[in-house]
Amino acid sequence: MKDFGGRVAVVTGAASGIGRALAGALAELDMKLVLADVEASALNEVAEGLAQAGRSAVAVPTDVSQADAVTALAERAYEEFGAVHLLCNNAGVFAAGLSYDAPQSDYDWCFGVNVWGILNGLRSFVPRMLEAGEPGHIVNTASMAALTSVPFSAPYAMSKAAVLSLSESLYLEMQARSASLGVSVVCPELFDTRIGWAERNRPAHLERKDEEGASPEREGTEQAIKAATATGQEPGVLAQRIIEGVRDNQLYVLAPEGDPWRDACNARLDDLRAGRNPGGAVPGGGE
């Protein structure tokens, strides 16, 4: 997708961090925006701010883990603008813990938002985007955690590895069908957002019970994520990288060469090629 102006973008997780920055950057390109998030009041503030700046943005409070809610989001988007050209499946949550000890609710929550949330987006939008036959693009947000060997965050890292795999399948399917839809999977390094405070959006039925899965490693990783993201880059940097990835139809939108997360990814590839066991610490402590 080369042209953005006047076209329609849907961004999930748009109330905060990377999604909010992406919404702002797409608005600068004169896109019409449908913004979704589970945090309704923060979402409304983002949409109102954009509207006050003369941009076209509607807020649709949505829990992406719920298929019906994402179907309703698509209905609303098509009702409002008659088309969708760019779908950014960005909403995500983080949970740390020892793989064998983390409660099922940690896995259910991370997979519900990070994986099923994206699948819900694909199911609700891709058939209609294909039917329209116009140039379009799907952006799925994974993480450099999907491309590196990461301890103490299996619920998150597993979910992001699934997003990578899902995006590769979708890319190859679009190629096989000679479709006009491009696909990108975004694998960010560390950005200054509220991902370390993702628990704020955890639904009551998936709360951890008492000290379930508590461990010094979980505690340490939770602290490390907060500290590392707080000193991370400004999310607008990533928004520009994503836009470039869409324009150039890059499947893999990765941390740049020279970044410690890209080095860790390269080291993992070297380990795989050599059949060697993973050896290193993770930059930033686990994200």
Ligand X SMILES: NC(=O)c1ccc[n+]([C@@H]2O[C@H](COP(=O)([O-])OP(=O)(O)OC[C@H]3O[C@@H](n4cnc5c(N)ncnc54)[C@H](O)[C@@H]3O)[C@@H](O)[C@H]2O)c1
How many whole angstroms separate alpha carbon 143 and alpha carbon 159?
Answer: 10
DSSP letters of 21-64? HHHHHHHHTT-EEEEEES-HHHHHHHHHHHHHTT--EEEEE--T
- Piece of 17-25, 80-88, 168-176, 205-213 that binds ligand X (CB under 6 A): 17-25
How many whole angstroms separate alpha carbon 10 and alpha carbon 215?
Answer: 38
Min dist CB 131 to ligand X, Å, is 25
How many whole angstroms separate alpha carbon 30 and alpha carbon 4?
Answer: 7
Query: What character string, x for contact with ligand X (CB under 6 A) and - otherwise, covers 117-156?
Result: ------------------------x-x-------------
Min dist CB 257 to ligand X, Å, is 18
Is residue 287 near ligand X by the rule CB under 6 A?
A: yes
Is residue 92 near ligand X by the rule CB under 6 A?
A: yes
Nearer to ligand X, 30 or 259 (CB): 259
Min dist CB 44 to ligand X, Å, is 12
Given the residues 78, 100, 107, 156, select the one marked as catalytic.
156
Q: Which residues contact 123 (CB under 8 A, 6 or more apart)?
A: 67, 70
How many whole angstroms separate alpha carbon 236 and alpha carbon 240?
Answer: 6
How many whole angstroms separate alpha carbon 111 and alpha carbon 160?
Answer: 9
Q: Is-catalytic flag, 107?
A: no
Phi, psi of 103 (to 5 degrees): -70, 155
Is residue 15 near ligand X by the rule CB under 6 A?
A: yes
In the region spanning residues 215 to 244, those forming contacts with ligand X, defined by CB under 6 A, are 229, 232
* Amino acid found at 45: E
In the region spanning residues 94 to 123, those forming contacts with ligand X, defined by CB under 6 A, are 113
Angle (nearest 5°) at CA 134 between 73 and 31: 60
Strand partners, 87: 10, 138
Min dist CB 182 to ligand X, Å, is 19
Nearer to ligand X, 113 or 181 (CB): 113
* Amino acid found at 226: K
Given a contact cutoff of 8 angstroms between Cβ atoms, the answer to whether 32 and 85 are in contact is no
- Near ligand X by CB under 6 A: residue from 10, 138, 198, 254: 198
Q: Which residue has the tokens 């969708």?
A: 84
Given a contact cutoff of 8 angstroms between Cβ atoms, the answer to whether 87 and 19 are in contact is no
- Piece of 76-84, 96-104, 130-138, 188-196 that binds ligand X (CB under 6 A): 188-196
Nearer to ligand X, 207 or 274 (CB): 207
Q: Which residues bind ligand X (CB under 6 A)?
A: 12-13, 15-19, 37-39, 62-65, 90-93, 113, 141, 143, 188, 190-191, 193-195, 198, 201, 229, 232, 287
Catalytic annotation, residues: 156
